Structure 1
Amino acid sequence: MNHSRQDIPGPGDICQPEARRVGVYDAHAIEDPSVDHDLQVVYRWLRSLPITDLLSAAVDDAVKYVLDGPRTWRFDLMSPEVDSDERASVGTKLQYHVINRLGLIKEPPLDTSILGIAVEIKGTVGRTWMIPREGQCEVTLLFRINARRHTFEVWLMRTHRAWLTGGNGNRDLKRSPIAGAVRRYALIVVPETPLPPEPLRQLTPEHLDVVFGPAGLRRRLVALFEALPEVVIPRGSIAVVGAGLGDPMKRAREAKSDLRRRGLIVLVGTWPVERRLAAELGFDISGEAWVAVREESFAFYGLKVPSPR
């Protein structure tokens, strides 16, 4: 059903949530989000944090948990090897990662609470969210992940029953927020923002055939760094390339000498000296990330090539 701006209930209109397992909640007047006390308390708390970084990490955690790359070679939610049920499960896993990253705890009656206010957490890799009866008229964090664009965005909204779709809901008695109500009444927590980069997504089909091909891991890792010179490669991406093999980092360390002979100097974030050197060259390899730098780049910046480790 399409809802025009005029027929979406607004502040002052009466909202009647549906019966829940714990009983029937009273009808109540819809408040404008700007004067909704609990909504504003939660919103201010979220905005007091480095919220974009925290929620970006939470979404990335949930996506990587579902992909399980170090065992499956998968690094892209849109891969044909990821079925629709797995893709949908990202939203389910997300609540636990959000709670962890925000330093909260899982507790009833909803998913968590912030400053004593119950909060529901809903994520989707699709167009909309499914709100259970227990979540009607409650303060809700809404995450939308765009797997094709590798981005995410987050809103905070009181999901009034009056702002949810009509009809009988789905078989689990869940309903979706009306798009016009989200646009009009949801508070933006994080605008559309890129997720942490996954450099394996930059590989061409030709490079993918080699990096994930039948050759030994050492040769495949050499091919990876040659395909992506001066691109920061997280440790987790190396683990994906070495999926199913014991100690892929050992093979990565062995590949460094092969790359050096090809004019690529590998810097590893494990070592403080190399982290500082990478920073001088314009690369952030914190978190034990790796980067293969062209030898001539050191000369350009007047830096000494480090001795092999």
Structure 2
Amino acid sequence: MKKILLPFGNECIGDRENQAHIVEDPRIDADLQTVYDWLLSQPIEERLTIAVNDAIEYVLDGARTWRFDLDSPEVDSDERASLGTKLQYRVLAALGLSKLPPLDTHILGIPVELKGTVRKNWMIPREGQCQICLLIQVDSANERYQAFLMRTHRLWLNDGGNQDKKRTVVAEAVRSYALPVVSWTPLPHNPLKRLAPGELAVVFDMQNGIKRRLTALFGFLPDVVIPRIAIETVGANAKDVARRARQAKPDVYAEHGLVVLMGTWPSQRALAAKHGYDISKEAWIALSPKALGDDFEIALAMSRESGRK
């Protein structure tokens, strides 16, 4: 049965409360607006993007498990569900906040609950009812996330709870009363997801050495920025995977005609940026003659020189 969404001015009482309070319009909820203004005064999209991506990488643990897709059958449901917990601590770190009772943190002295989900709704614990909550939803299939700020009044929660007595938020309440913090925003793309099944079979063929598999990876993904985590995932559990990747550069050029540039080198970062590629944060790229144009020979010399270091 669909819950009737009650308007402002009604009394609300949480499952753990003894005294009712009046539901205020979010526009005149002073504490809610104070927290909202503080969040929007931060580089909030940049910081939440980092926090969400870090939480996903933590759960996948690609450098030990060879996993790179949160929706893969190799990631069990409990691991996927744990993303919300991992995300809490990464949001705290990204925003420079401390873990403080009675909820998850304080913003300007106001208690705030942090809730993340990979589903279509959030599970609000009893202590979070009628409190200010930062709600983050991760859509891993489409590599994006969004975030809202909302006072999760009991009147705006569904009646059916799980065994921990957590309740989901009425969808219409989110649409009507939640304040948008970050609209749907892309997450960093892992190019391993671009590989066809046959290509993945080659890149993760453990009968071949890491250098051989990384050579194949660069060949399958010309002119594509490859973040460090993707390199580490292909070479999971090996020592000094970056050295193996450097050793693969001559083979990548000999077999595919591509020049590998590394983001650890400022000159190579600058050259890649000149042609529209961001390889900061220790990313890699195998560039084609078409992408480099007249700079191909310069890039080749750079690549060879760094390969000798």
- CA distance in 2 between counterparts of 1:238 and 1:25 reads 55
- CA distance in 2 between counterparts of 1:104 and 1:303 reads 48
Matching of residue 2 in structure 1 with residue 2 in structure 2: yes
SS at match of 2:281: coil
- CA distance in 1 between counterparts of 2:230 and 2:247 reads 17
Matching of residue 81 in structure 1 with residue 78 in structure 2: no
- In structure 1, the gaps of 5 or more residues are none
The one-letter code matched in structure 2 to 1:65 is Y
Aligned length: 301
CA gap of 1:302–1:270, structure 2 versus 1, over 3 A, is closer
Which residue number in structure 1 is paired with residue 100 of structure 2? 107
SS at match of 1:305: helix
Comparing 256-265 and 280-289, the one that deviates more: 256-265
After TM superposition, the structure 1 = structure 2 runs for residues 290-301 of structure 1, keeping only pairs within 5 Å, are 290-300=284-294
Q: Retained in 2: the 8 A contact 1:218–1:254?
A: yes
Instruction: Provide runs of 4+ in structure 1 moved above 4 Å.
Output: 300-303
Matching of residue 40 in structure 1 with residue 37 in structure 2: no
Matching of residue 254 in structure 1 with residue 247 in structure 2: yes
Task: Please state how far the C-alpha of 1:17 moved relative to its aligned partner.
Answer: 1.2
Comparing 25-34 and 201-210, the one that deviates more: 25-34
Task: Please state how far the C-alpha of 1:303 moved relative to its aligned partner.
Answer: 7.4
Q: CA deviation digits over 1:68-108, x for unaligned, max 9? A: 10000000011110111111110111100000111111111
TM-score by length of 1: 0.94
Task: Please state how far the C-alpha of 1:300 moved relative to its aligned partner.
Answer: 4.9
Q: Retained in 1: the 8 A contact 2:215–2:251?
A: yes
Which residue number in structure 1 is paired with residue 13 of structure 2? 16
Q: CA deviation digits over 1:188-208, x for unaligned, max 9? A: 111111111111111111110
Select which of 138, 142, 161 maps to 1:149.
Answer: 142
- CA distance in 2 between counterparts of 1:276 and 1:268 reads 11
Q: CA deviation digits over 1:272-296, x for unaligned, max 9? A: 1111101001100110100110134
CA gap of 1:303–1:42, structure 2 versus 1, over 3 A, is farther
User: More helix by proportion, 1 or 2?
Assistant: 2
SS at match of 1:143: strand
Which residue number in structure 2 is paired with residue 188 of structure 1? 180
The one-letter code matched in structure 1 to 2:177 is Y
The one-letter code matched in structure 1 to 2:41 is S
The one-letter code matched in structure 2 to 1:263 is G
Select which of 193, 197, 206 maps to 2:198.
Answer: 206
After TM superposition, the structure 1 = structure 2 runs for residues 279-290 of structure 1, keeping only pairs within 5 Å, are 279-290=273-284
- CA distance in 2 between counterparts of 1:127 and 1:39 reads 23
Matching of residue 266 in structure 1 with residue 263 in structure 2: no
- CA distance in 2 between counterparts of 1:97 and 1:209 reads 33
Matching of residue 139 in structure 1 with residue 136 in structure 2: no
- CA distance in 2 between counterparts of 1:69 and 1:302 reads 33
The one-letter code matched in structure 2 to 1:294 is S
CA gap of 1:236–1:302, structure 2 versus 1, over 3 A, is closer
The one-letter code matched in structure 1 to 2:84 is G
Task: Please state how far the C-alpha of 1:305 moved relative to its aligned partner.
Answer: 2.8
CA gap of 1:302–1:72, structure 2 versus 1, over 3 A, is closer
Q: CA deviation digits over 1:198-243, x for unaligned, max 9? A: 1111111111000011211101001101111110001111001001
Task: Please state how far the C-alpha of 1:244 moved relative to its aligned partner.
Answer: 1.3
Task: Please state how far the C-alpha of 1:180 moved relative to its aligned partner.
Answer: 0.8
Q: Retained in 2: the 8 A contact 1:281–1:301?
A: no
Q: Retained in 1: the 8 A contact 2:261–2:299?
A: no
Matching of residue 222 in structure 1 with residue 219 in structure 2: no
Q: Please give the root-mean-square deviation of Cα atoms over the aligned residues, in Å.
A: 1.3
SS at match of 1:70: helix
- CA distance in 1 between counterparts of 2:57 and 2:18 reads 38
Q: Retained in 1: the 8 A contact 2:289–2:296?
A: no
Task: Please state how far the C-alpha of 1:302 moved relative to its aligned partner.
Answer: 8.1
SS at match of 2:298: coil
SS at match of 1:266: strand
